[in-house]
Amino acid sequence: MIEINEQQIRLQTDPATKQAAIELVGNLLVTSGNITTQYVTSMQQREEVANTFLGNGIAIPHGLNENRDQIARTGIAVLQVPAGVEWNPGETARLIVGIAAKSDEHIEVLRRLTRVLGDEQQVTLLSNTTNPHDIIEALTGERPAETPLLQTSSDYEQFFDAVIQNKTGLHARPAAMFVNIAKRYKADIQIRNGQRMGNGKRLLSLLQLGIEHGTRVRVSAQGVDATDALKALQEAIKQGLGDEEEPARPTSIQKNTAPIWTPQTVEQTISGVAAAPGIAIGPIQHYKRQTIHVADQTGDPIAEGEQFQSALDASQHDLHELHKNVGARSGAGQAAIFEAHGEFLNDAGLIQDTIALIYEGHSAAWSWQSAIEERVDQLKQLKDPVLAGRAADLNDVGQRVLQHLTGKHPTITPANNTDTPAILIADDLAPSDTALLDPRNVLGFCTAGGGPTSHTAIIARSLGIPAIVGAGQEILSISQGQSSILDGSTGKLYLQPGAADIQQARILQEQALQQQEIERKLRFAPATTTDQQRIEVVANIGNVADAQKAAEAGAEGVGLLRTEFLFLGRDSAPDEDEQFEVYRDIIQAMQQQPIIIRTLDIGGDKEVAYLNLPKEANPFLGIRGVRLCFEHPELFIPQLRAIYRAAAYGPVSIMFPMIATLEDWEKASVIAEQVRQELDAPVVPMGIMVEVPSAVMLAEHLAKQVAFFSIGTNDLTQYTLAMDRGHPQLARQADSVHPAVLAMIARTVEAANKEGKWVGVCGGLASDTLGASILAGMGVKELSVSIPSVATIKAHIRASSLTDMQEIARKALQCRNAAEVRAL
């Protein structure tokens, strides 16, 4: 009988292609010692000459007969792909059974498979099960005892088992989320992978368990709130522990992807892993970061301990700043790693070990260095390359603290990235190095280590820098200044290419740029659908600089000026004159295009320290937006005065946030009208944000009185679904395309249409291409989007027909959940 154990089964995988699936299943056989890597190539080659799709979702890739000498031991491995992968056109495989048979020992397995094949129900079960034993039983006829995760004496009494679904296992970000949730409870929490046990409240302890995608773990807890803790953790694991799909790459980068291309005359070709698409042409520049290494020294434990504490605080501060800056530059997803870095600094084990060494009389720097090195070595030994890659993150944090402890800064060559545009070669880049690269001078980069899912690669993609990782140590000896072409789409670095190749690469680069350029050039053209319907695309801004950027980005006006931004990050509120000047400058920067000024929307998550507002238990449901303005006329009246004075300079509308009742609107509009009369200012259109469900339900009444509605889908989503928009676990589910939210929007649009009033949308949904289609299809006339999205949304509308968008909107409203809408 052929043997198969849990290690040869990989559940819940999602390979993008048949080739990737064969690679994965082949690697399982390599790891279990059944075959050499050449046999995996042979498995791929067989697909070109024979069909290995058995039918009913099952495929049995195996190598060519002539390569049987590459099989050490007969064996099988199984890849489960619940969502399926296209094997041949029209044939989708969900269970991929990789076979390496020295002779015909595998016939028994095939016989069993043929039986399974006829039983559709069983195939469905096996394609979705989270218990590998189901698969072993189907293939061998014997069910292994459920031993590995049976309760052992070291598990706490209360527990649950779960399969980790995260694509790259429990890597730093999801592990940090797990720890954060665990820490909210008093109970002791453990997580077990096979025989290895980790402390659920310590990030490093969790990472060291090497939990890969598809691993079954047991989480157990003990203490007063153990039940609640387990419930929260189980739900969080189910929801993916905050792991977002890496956002779709910005169109500009996608378009940068070059077609497969091979140069004709090069001196050397280096193959690595494709990490960020695009072609770069330029000289090689070695990038070196001299790491800080300290020798052992004796020290006074009290003074060293204090130094250590300040270094930790300073490092936390750095990481906080880095998180903020990268978040603003590349988005929250890319910045999240720096939060996980912060979590390393809270790791009790790491701190304890450092302190223990300090109290033995060693210096703080040496003690910290030893504690970090020990853990880095442990992480490097993990089988899973993604988790092993977290060693780079830990090293990065380790160096940061060492910098503060020693006052030394690591020498970076070339300083300031590079003075002349070049392709950087490095052993590995720390995520914080990558985040600070200047895309103007860094044409591309190639690292010896690292993997495509490293944060370095993710950040490179968000910066639009073509990149290759994992190219091997040989790249470190490439001579400086050599001419090269880097193809980030295929993972190839070509050295000393011929003139014809450089020319060809430039043509490809040029074509990609032209595509981006078309979008950029047409940014000032109106967004008119293929069936001649005009949709206005305007921008959301917060200050004068934004207004200048918005005008340059092709915005046809401002759909939302978040005036509260003028009040944040300072010591006192701007007075009437200061506000007047800002509003006037914004109007002038937008060159007579229409501007909607929203009155102060403070409260909720926007806190203003100097106003000394009382803390509220539920700030999003408290004195927020217009409610706060009613309570604070000393803020509201000067703002309205400033807006009316500025209205003399261009087309302005006033909009009130957080309107929940008719009385809110009446009160706000009466106050504004009084201010207008006092100033003898011109009448301007007054409208409201529709972002509270009660405003939707009252839309028919409100539509009779207001000049316009602007739907704030960010808040409307959080209030409709009762999911805090900033909540780390819920924010991902709070998707504005949820049909419940779409129904709210449809109702609002209908009420406005009945009264002949126009509706815009200024929430995040308008910046999403699918969202924009649905909104335009529902009859929304104006999309107010983030500045970088202006050209993209315009291009998207121009490429769509209103009839098609209406059809998408109709279908979306009939869906049952956000996933179904996204599938449209």
Positions marked active-site = 62, 171, 455, 762
Mask for 690-729, x = binds ligand PEP (CB under 6 A) = -x--------------------xxxx--------------
Q: Which does 768 bind (CB under 5 to 8 A by kind): ligand PEP, Mg ion, none?
A: none
Strand order of the sheet with strand 188-193?
158-163, 216-222, 188-193, 196-199
Residue closer to ligand PEP, measured from CB, 78 or 560: 560
Asked if 652 is part of the footprint of ligand PEP (rule: CB under 6 A), the reply reads: no
**Least CB distance from residue 812 to Mg ion, whole Å?**
22
**Cα distance between residue 766 and residue 536, in whole Å:** 11
Give yes or no for a contact between 589 and 548, defined as CB atoms under 8 angstroms apart. Answer: yes
Instruction: Kindly indicate which of the ranges 240-248, 415-423, 471-479, 711-719 contains the residues binding Mg ion, using the contact rule CB under 5 A.
Output: 711-719
Burial class (CB in 10 A: 0-12, 13-18, 19+), 807: middle
Mask for 288-317, x = binds ligand PEP (CB under 6 A) = ------------------------------
- Which residues, other chains included, contact 468 with Cβ-Cβ below 8 Å and sequence gap of 6+? 272, 273, 274, 275, 444, 445, 446, 447, 486, 488, 491, 492, 493
Residue closer to ligand PEP, measured from CB, 288 or 549: 549
Residue 193: its H or E element: strand 188-193
Which two structure tokens, joined as six digits, stand for 548?
């200048």
Q: Which does 202 bind (CB under 5 to 8 A by kind): Mg ion, ligand PEP, none?
A: none
**Least CB distance from residue 593 to ligand PEP, whole Å?**
19
* Total residues in contact with Mg ion, by rule CB under 5 A: 3
β-pair partners for 487: 279, 492
Burial class (CB in 10 A: 0-12, 13-18, 19+), 683: exposed
Asked if 564 is part of the footprint of Mg ion (rule: CB under 5 A), the reply reads: no
Residue closer to Mg ion, measured from CB, 94 or 598: 598
Give yes or no for a contact between 406 and 299, defined as CB atoms under 8 angstroms apart. Answer: no
Q: Which does 433 bind (CB under 5 to 8 A by kind): ligand PEP, Mg ion, none?
A: none
**Least CB distance from residue 778 to ligand PEP, whole Å?**
16
**Least CB distance from residue 568 to ligand PEP, whole Å?**
12
Touching Mg ion, residues 375-404 (CB under 5 A): none
Give yes or no for a contact between 395 and 430, defined as CB atoms under 8 angstroms apart. Answer: yes
**Least CB distance from residue 693 to ligand PEP, whole Å?**
13
- Residue 88: closest CA among 51, 43, 40: 51
- Which residues, other chains included, contact 450 with Cβ-Cβ below 8 Å and sequence gap of 6+? 275, 389, 392, 428, 429, 456, 457, 469, 470
Residue closer to ligand PEP, measured from CB, 547 or 762: 762
Q: Which does 762 bind (CB under 5 to 8 A by kind): Mg ion, ligand PEP, none?
A: ligand PEP
98 phi and psi, to 5 degrees?
-80, 130
Residue closer to ligand PEP, measured from CB, 305 or 331: 331
Asked if 760 is part of the footprint of Mg ion (rule: CB under 5 A), the reply reads: no
Residue 323: its H or E element: helix 301-330
Q: Which of 202, 390, 562, 794 binds ligand PEP (CB under 6 A)?
A: 562
Q: Which does 624 bind (CB under 5 to 8 A by kind): ligand PEP, Mg ion, none?
A: none
Residue 66 gets which letter from DSSP? G
**Least CB distance from residue 762 to Mg ion, whole Å?**
8
Residue 648 gets which letter from DSSP? G
- Segments of 605-685 assigned E as strands: 652-656
Q: Which does 713 bind (CB under 5 to 8 A by kind): ligand PEP, Mg ion, none?
A: ligand PEP
296 phi and psi, to 5 degrees?
-70, 140
Residue closer to Mg ion, measured from CB, 347 or 691: 691
Q: What is the DSSP string of 335-385?
A: HHHHHHHHHHTT-HHHHHHHHHHHHTTB-HHHHHHHHHHHHHHHHHT-SSH
Q: Which does 210 bind (CB under 5 to 8 A by kind): Mg ion, ligand PEP, none?
A: none
Asked if 601 is part of the footprint of ligand PEP (rule: CB under 6 A), the reply reads: yes
Beta strand 91-100 with 196-199 is: unpaired
Residue closer to ligand PEP, measured from CB, 177 or 695: 695
Report the Cα 628 to chain-centroid distance in Å: 34
Residue closer to ligand PEP, measured from CB, 414 or 542: 542
Beta strand 9-10 with 75-88 is: parallel
Question: Which amino acid is residue 157, in one-letter code?
Answer: E
Touching ligand PEP, residues 319-338 (CB under 6 A): none
* Total residues in contact with ligand PEP, by rule CB under 6 A: 10
Q: Which of 132, 342, 450, 763 binds ligand PEP (CB under 6 A)?
A: 763
Instruction: Kindly indicate which of the ranges 47-55, 216-224, 714-722, 782-790 contains the residues binding Mg ion, using the contact rule CB under 5 A.
Output: 714-722
**Least CB distance from residue 96 to ligand PEP, whole Å?**
44
β-pair partners for 656: 688
Peptide bond preceding 594 in cis form (omega within 30 of 0) = no
Give yes or no for a contact between 669 and 683, defined as CB atoms under 8 angstroms apart. Answer: no
Residue closer to ligand PEP, measured from CB, 568 or 799: 568
**Least CB distance from residue 743 to ligand PEP, whole Å?**
17
**Least CB distance from residue 630 to Mg ion, whole Å?**
17
Q: Which of 304, 715, 768, 782 binds Mg ion (CB under 5 A)?
A: 715
Asked if 762 is part of the footprint of ligand PEP (rule: CB under 6 A), the reply reads: yes
Give yes or no for a contact between 14 and 96, defined as CB atoms under 8 angstroms apart. Answer: no
Instruction: Kindly indicate which of the ranges 96-104, 375-383, 586-594, 712-720 contains the residues binding Mg ion, using the contact rule CB under 5 A.
Output: 712-720
Residue closer to ligand PEP, measured from CB, 279 or 734: 734
Q: Torsion over CA of 65, 71, 74 and 79, rounded to 10 degrees?
A: -90
Residue closer to ligand PEP, measured from CB, 35 or 695: 695
**Cα distance between residue 651 and residue 648, in whole Å:** 8
Instruction: State the greatest distance between any 2 C-alpha atoms of the chain, in Å, as a whole number.
Output: 96
**Cα distance between residue 93 and residue 60, in whole Å:** 10
**Least CB distance from residue 655 to ligand PEP, whole Å?**
10
Q: Which does 124 bind (CB under 5 to 8 A by kind): ligand PEP, Mg ion, none?
A: none
Asked if 712 is part of the footprint of Mg ion (rule: CB under 5 A), the reply reads: yes
Q: Is 242 left (phi over 0), alpha (psi -120 to 50) or beta?
A: left
- Which residues, other chains included, contact 583 with Cβ-Cβ below 8 Å and sequence gap of 6+? 561, 597, 642, 643, 645, 646, 652
- Residue 534: closest CA among 701, 749, 257, 758: 758
Q: Which does 559 bind (CB under 5 to 8 A by kind): Mg ion, ligand PEP, none?
A: none
Beta strand 686-690 with 483-487 is: unpaired
Asked if 167 is part of the footprint of ligand PEP (rule: CB under 6 A), the reply reads: no
Q: Which does 562 bind (CB under 5 to 8 A by kind): ligand PEP, Mg ion, none?
A: ligand PEP
Residue closer to ligand PEP, measured from CB, 713 or 773: 713
Residue closer to ligand PEP, measured from CB, 163 or 613: 613
Asked if 691 is part of the footprint of Mg ion (rule: CB under 5 A), the reply reads: yes
**Least CB distance from residue 601 to ligand PEP, whole Å?**
6
**Least CB distance from residue 714 to Mg ion, whole Å?**
5
**Least CB distance from residue 598 to ligand PEP, whole Å?**
8
How open is the CA angle 450-454-457, to the nearest 5 degrees?
90
Q: Which does 763 bind (CB under 5 to 8 A by kind): ligand PEP, Mg ion, none?
A: ligand PEP
- Residue 653: closest CA among 724, 595, 566: 595
Mask for 614-633, x = binds ligand PEP (CB under 6 A) = --------------------
Instruction: Enumerate binding residues for Mg ion (CB under 5 A).
Output: 691, 712, 715
Q: Kindly list the residues in this chain that would bind ligand PEP in the complex (CB under 6 A).
A: 560, 562, 601, 691, 712-715, 762-763
